[in-house]
């Protein structure tokens, strides 16, 4: 267990950055300015003046401290998001025992603090509401995706539950709305090689040995749309969205992998039609069979064609 020299504040752990291994020259302030160009110098000076930037030994650093005296160490600091946008949707907790908590997340709420989201995240909200400082997500779903997220309540049990995901002993099923493609035979198994795209944060399918695998089934359909059940066998980032788009079935209101750009990512009336609907596994501690089902619902099947919904 890594010891963090700054205590959790308002449900958020201190952030950490590794100092470069430089033999000479450069100050802590200069490094932070270069590493975080979007953070004003005055912000770093204020944080250091308040003793809120420390090394891994808990020693407060000063702006003019030289890097050469702190080789191989890390800096810890409290991050703030001024004027953070309030996400007007609430998660619900559908299960809780001594070790585990299962939340049903709404669309648009991030799981973890990152970028422009800090307090307005599922993890921080749950830590504060349930007074669970060790609460840790066992997996993640995209901010745009709704549905189930599992959390370990104590550091001591996290590894046992994470092994379920690592060893593929978790069975997850998603629901999605996408164009109906009658030319495919269902259930459809799609395997492909995925890697990062040159377009920031997006993934893509490329030639090569498959490293991702999804099973696609159909719940219902009309002439233009279908409600699919997507079962990821592997767990690549954006896997379901990338696979469906590659098959000519881009998910309704997908801003990253759409049929046509752009989709308004800030429009709460157009949530990505992807829902982490169910999770099934054997609890590694109690050895009891567990299955949880999201109470959230996607939209009804549109009555008009794709070009009318996503012009």
Render pLDDT for 261-296 as a digit per residue (tens, 0 to 9): 555 556 798 999 999 999 999 999 999 999 999 999
Whether the predicted model's global pTM rises above the 0.85 cut: yes
The region of weakest confidence among 49-63, 116-130, 231-245, 270-284 is: 49-63
Residue 4 binned pLDDT confidence (cut-offs 50, 70, 90): confident
**Does the pLDDT at position 198 exceed 90?**
no
Structure tokens at 272: 């990505």
Residues paired with residue 103 on neighbouring β-strands, in sequence order: 93, 149
Over residues 127-136, mean pLDDT = 95
**Tell me, what's the pLDDT at 279?**
98
Over residues 25-54, mean pLDDT = 91
The pLDDT tens digits of the residues spanning 68-126 come to 755 557 899 998 888 899 999 999 999 999 999 999 999 999 999 988 999 999 999 99
Give 15-77's CATH code, choosing from 3.30.450, 3.30.70, 3.10.290, 2.30.30: 3.10.290
**Tell me, what's the pLDDT at 25?**
63
Sequence spans of domains, the chain: 15-77, 92-309
**Does the pLDDT at position 227 exceed 70?**
yes
Q: Which CATH class is domain 92-309?
A: alpha beta
**Tell me, what's the pLDDT at 80?**
86
**Tell me, what's the pLDDT at 23?**
55
**Tell me, what's the pLDDT at 69?**
59
- Which position has the higher pLDDT, 242 or 26? 242
The pLDDT tens digits of the residues spanning 165-176 come to 999 999 999 999
Residue 65 binned pLDDT confidence (cut-offs 50, 70, 90): confident
Q: Fold match between 15-77 and 92-309?
A: no
Mean pLDDT computed over every residue of the chain = 91
- Tell me whether strands 136-137 and 188-196 are parallel, antiparallel or unpaired: unpaired
């Amino acid at each position: 267990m890594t010891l963090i020299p700054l205590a959790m504040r308002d449900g958020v752990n201190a952030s950490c950055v590794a100092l470069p291994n430089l033999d000479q020259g450069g100050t802590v302030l200069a490094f932070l300015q270069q590493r975080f160009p979007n953070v004003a110098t005055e912000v770093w000076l204020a944080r250091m003046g308040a003793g809120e930037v420390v090394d891994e030994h808990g020693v407060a650093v000063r702006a003019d401290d030289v890097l050469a005296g702190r080789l191989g160490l890390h800096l810890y600091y409290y991050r703030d998001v001024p004027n953070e946008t309030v996400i007007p949707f609430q998660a619900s907790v559908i299960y809780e025992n001594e070790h585990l908590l299962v939340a049903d997340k709404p669309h648009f709420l991030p799981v973890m603090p990152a970028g422009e989201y800090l307090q307005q995240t599922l993890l921080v909200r749950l830590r504060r509401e349930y007074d669970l400082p060790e609460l840790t997500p066992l997996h993640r779903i995209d901010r745009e995706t709704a549905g189930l997220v599992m959390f370990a309540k104590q550091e001591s049990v996290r590894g046992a539950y994470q092994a379920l995901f690592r060893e593929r002993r978790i069975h997850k099923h998603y629901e999605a709305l996408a164009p109906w493609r009658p030319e495919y035979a269902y259930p459809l198994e799609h395997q492909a090689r995925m890697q990062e795209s040159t377009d920031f944060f997006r993934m893509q399918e490329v030639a090569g040995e498959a490293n991702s695998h999804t099973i696609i089934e159909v719940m219902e359909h009309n002439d233009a749309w279908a409600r699919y059940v997507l079962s990821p066998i592997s767990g690549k980032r954006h896997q379901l969205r990338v696979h469906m788009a590659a098959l000519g079935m881009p998910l309704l209101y997908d801003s990253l992998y759409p049929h046509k750009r752009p989709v308004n990512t800030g429009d709460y009336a157009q949530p990505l039609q992807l829902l982490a609907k169910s999770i099934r596994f054997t609890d590694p501690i109690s050895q009891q069979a567990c299955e949880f089902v999201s109470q959230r619902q996607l939209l009804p099947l549109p009555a008009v064609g794709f070009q009318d919904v996503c012009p």
